Each structure stands twice: as structure tokens, then as C-alpha cells.
Amino acid sequence: MVTLESLRPRQFVLRRPGLVLSAFWLLLVLVAAVAPAVFAPGDPLAVDTAARLRPPSAEHLFGTDRLGRDLFAETVHGTGRTLPAAVLATLIGLGAGVALGLLSGFLRGVVDLVVMRLVDVLLAIPGLLLALMLVSVLGKGSTLDVGIAIGVTAIAGTARVMRAEVLRVAGSDFVEAARIGGARRTRVVLRHVLPNALGPVWVLTLLLFGVAILGVTTLSFLGFGTQPPTPEWGALVSSGRDFLGSAWWLSLLPGAVVALTILAANRVSLAFDGGRGLQ
């Protein structure tokens, strides 16, 4: 149970240090995406050949790349490329998935059959392969294109979760009471079914966000996302793969930022799973 004692900041931090650190990390990432100059005021593309391939130090926290550019500044400014694409992908996956799951679960019949067959088709294609196909058709190098491609791959899973919840809620007594009371179908869906079916979907939001970050960085790593010299997390990891033996920090440190962000998103999402994480 949540008590007044557990709601005090100090007690909450002591009881949930992992959750607090994860939320704080996500806040830092958000600030870096919106205002990168807060952490790295310099030009991330400034070249200094005299300082090329220097290891991490007090002067260069993440070291420098093969052109002497500050890797920390590149990573911070790259957040503004990775995060918007991941947010767009999350919104597409949630929005389209919720709409399809709601229609399928409530209307049933032919609509349910058609929607679920479409979902099955999407699930039958590996997510990375589908994203590569879509971004190749849309073009490459655009945050919008990458976000759309990753977002489409997230629709099927969200639609299935939403459909299952709609089927559960639609059979509830209060929904039947609303129908018997003469409420119109639209009112039943928007007032009674949708709000009560969104619980698990809210939990999926940060999980999808983490998956979207992984998808966006993967496409960039493979050369289908933001193109050099524009800094982006996946592109930074990719650019350092030829120097793993001599300059390990080029790929490892941006990759660690990606991993920590995904883990933080998953941690916060699981903590709020049905509200049980805060009890």
C-alpha cells in the first residue's frame, strides 16, 4: 500500500533508487535533446586533427574521434536526432495500434477478421526487415522517414494488446449497463471502453520508446538513418567500429548511452505496471 511515509521524497528515493536514477537519466536525455548546449556548448563538428583519437579525459569526457572532434559533444547533439525519431515512432505505434485494436475488439465480425489478418502479416515480417523495406521506399537520412518506418513495426503488437483489453472491458457489467441504458455506440466506446482499456497500453509507452530508440539507432548504424557528419547515436557507434582495437571509446561510449537510455525507459515503464511498481 502507498502511505504518506512512502510518498516523502527521501523515503521514496531510498526505496526505489533504480527507478529514481532511471527517471533522472531520461530527464537528462530529454534536456540534451531539447537544449544540447546545456551539456556541450561547443560545436560538435569542430575538427582538431592535433587531438585525434585521444582517449577519455577531463578535457574530452568521451575522448575524440579520428578527426579530433569531441565525442561527448557529438553524442549530446546526436540526442536531438535520435530522440525525435524514437518519439515519432512511439506515437505512430501507439496511435495506429490503439485505433486498430479498438475497432477490432469492439466491432468484431468482418472488421476484426480483416484487422487481425493485417496484424498477422505485420507480425510475420521481422521488424528490422520491415523497417529497412519502409525506409528504403520513403528515402533515407530523414528523421521523419526513420520514425515512420520504426513506428509501423510497432503497430501490430500494440493492436493485439489493445484488442485483448477491449474484449475484456466490452464484456463488463458497466458496459452492458450503458448499452441497456440506450447509450449510443460512439459514447459507449469513447466514454466507457476506451478509458478502461488503456491501462496496459500506457505501460507499453516507455517500452515502445526503448524499442524505438534501438530501432532508430540500428537503422543509422546500418547506414539507413542520419548520414555523417551529422551526429546521431547509431551513426556514432557505426563510425567507431573500425577502431575497436585502438580506440574502443568511439563505439563503446555512445553505445553505452543508447543501452542506458533503453534500460531506463524499461525500468520506469515496469515500475508503473498497473501502479504496482509504486506500492
Q: How far apart are the C-alpha atoms of 173 and 179, rounded to whole Å?
A: 10
Q: How far apart are the C-alpha atoms of 87 and 167, rounded to whole Å?
A: 28
The structural domains of the chain, ordered by start, are 4-39+60-278 (1.10.3720.10)
Mean pLDDT lowest among 6-15, 164-173, 207-216: 6-15
In the predicted model, is pLDDT for residue 279 greater than 50?
no
Query: What radius of gyration do the chain's Cα atoms show?
Result: 22
Alpha helices in 35-172 (DSSP H): 71-107, 109-124, 127-138, 143-153, 155-170
Report the pLDDT value the prediction gives residue 1, as an integer from 0 to 100: 40
pLDDT (mean) for 71-84: 94
- The larger pLDDT score, comparing residue 279 to residue 269, is at 269
Q: Is 122 exposed, middle or buried (0-12, 13-18, 19+ CB in 10 A)?
A: middle
Q: How far apart are the C-alpha atoms of 208 and 118, rounded to whole Å?
A: 20
In the predicted model, is pLDDT for residue 142 greater than 70?
yes
Q: Is 38 exposed, middle or buried (0-12, 13-18, 19+ CB in 10 A)?
A: exposed
Exposure string over 46-68, b if 16+ CB within 10 A, otherwise e:
eeeeebeebebeeebbbbbbeeb
Grid coordinates in use for 167? 474484449
pLDDT (mean) for 94-111: 90
Helix (H, G, I), strand (E, B) or coil at 121: helix
Q: Is the pTM for the entire model greater than 0.85?
A: yes
| Structure confidence by residue, pLDDT tens digits, 168-197 | 888 777 777 877 777 787 787 778 788 888
**CA of residue 110 relative to chain centroid, distance:** 33
The residues, any chain, with a CB within 8 Å of residue 263's CB and separated by 6 or more, are 22, 210
For residue 185, give the amino acid letter.
R
